Amino acid sequence: MKSLEDLKKLRDSARQMMHLREGGDSVRIVIGMGTCGIAAGARETLAAVMQELERLHLYDVVVTQTGCAGFCDKEPLVDVILPGQPRVTYAKVDGERARRIIDEHVVNGRVIEQWVIER
């Protein structure tokens, strides 16, 4: 069984692997968590995002949420903001798309145009 005690150990190993956040140059990922986003699976999208970040050891990415953006039929929506670049919004992001977006856009800096929506 896991216990809160585990966090002490995790904390020390995890901290060593974070550098960028303090510098404010982090990549940001924003998940749409309005009612339609949640109904469309935003929570599972977030789970996939966190798992992919963990798999690739991307510990400096800041992940946050936002409410309904008014594109209810395009949910789940995910924004990717690379440092110094404009926000890119992806539509209908399921777990599979989330992983691809992280591999292509976050890691390689290549926007996956076919899933992007104008806003």
Give the binding site for other proteins (CB under 8 A). 1-4, 6-8, 10-11, 13-15, 18, 21, 31, 33-36, 38-39, 43-44, 46-47, 50-51, 53-54, 58-59, 62-65, 67-68, 70, 72
**Which residue, among 63, 78, 74, has the nearest Cα to 32 in the 3D structure?**
78
Q: Which is nearer to other proteins, 68 or 114 (CB)?
A: 68
Helix (H) or strand (E) holding 20: helix 20-23
Pair 29, 60: CB distance under 8 Å: no
Q: Give the number of residues written for the chain.
A: 119
To other proteins, the closest distance from the beta carbon of 70 in angstroms equals 5
To other proteins, the closest distance from the beta carbon of 105 in angstroms equals 17
Q: Which is nearer to other proteins, 13 or 114 (CB)?
A: 13
Helix (H) or strand (E) holding 35: helix 35-40
To other proteins, the closest distance from the beta carbon of 69 in angstroms equals 8
**In whole angstroms, how large is the CA radius of gyration of the chain?**
15
